Amino acid sequence: MKFTCLMVGWEGLAHDARVLGSALSEDFHIPQRSFYLADAGYALTRGTLVPYRGVRYHLRENAQAGKRPKTKEELFNLRHSMMRNVVERTFGTWKKRFPILVHPLEYSLKTQRDLVLALAVLHNMIIEHTCEPTGFVIDPGKDGAPTGEDDLPPEEEEEPTHSQRRERARNNAWRDQMAQDMWTQYQEYLQSLGRL
């Protein structure tokens, strides 16, 4: 997986959702009919697809243990988790490839920022010009990918305005339709295998 956008200089200073909000208020735009996978710390928008809250956020181990999703929301969260793990593994691979990224640096902030951007470009070039999808073979079991199987907490927010409620309802319907389509395909697949 390649990097397409990096917001350098915020780490530890603000929540990820604030960083995204700042980027969107400037010149960063999420392409039409596209979205970013986001964790439960973000709001569900047409640009950020988040898991269902209050629903088990499964990881691949649950599926391998024979624990099948029981609802469309569980299936959605399982698949969301699997895709987010790809993103987390990419960061883990990047840090293993360039260990300087995980050690405190005694350079100016500008040099540190430039270094992060240069290493992201180099990472993308390695992927583009090698046979291995990750560029190098790196032990996938130790790449910093999350292993949590925690339930996501219920959402706690301030009382939304009328227009915010309408937008939230549209976004929930969008995600619900996506989850329903996944569930229907999953049920058809299980039926074709005689496992339903």
Domain presence at residue 86: yes
Domain presence at residue 180: yes
- Both tokens of 193, joined, read 């295998």
Domain presence at residue 159: yes
Amino acid (one-letter) located at 165:
R
Residue 12: band (very low, low, confident or very high) from pLDDT cuts 50, 70, 90: low
- The full DSSP string for 142-183 is GS------PBPPPP--PPPPHHHHHHHHHHHHHHHHHHHHHH
Q: What is the pLDDT of residue 188?
A: 95
Which residues, other chains included, contact 109 with Cβ-Cβ below 8 Å and sequence gap of 6+? 9
* Three-class DSSP category at 48: strand
The count of domains in the chain is: 1
Domain presence at residue 173: yes
Q: What is the pLDDT of residue 191?
A: 92
Q: What is the pLDDT of residue 143?
A: 40
User: Of 13-27, 65-79, 130-144, where does mean pLDDT reach its minimum?
Assistant: 130-144
- Both tokens of 80, joined, read 């969301």
User: Of 53-57, 62-66, 115-119, 126-130, where does mean pLDDT reach its minimum?
Assistant: 62-66
Domain presence at residue 171: yes
| 53 vs 76: CA distance, rounded Å | 11
- Domain extent, residue 56, equals 16-192
CA-wise closest residue to 58 among 152, 145, 180? 152
Domain presence at residue 9: no
Which residues, other chains included, contact 184 with Cβ-Cβ below 8 Å and sequence gap of 6+? none
Residue 158: band (very low, low, confident or very high) from pLDDT cuts 50, 70, 90: low
Domain presence at residue 11: no
Given a cut of 50, whether residue 165 has pLDDT beyond it is yes
Domain presence at residue 103: yes
- Both tokens of 66, joined, read 């024979």
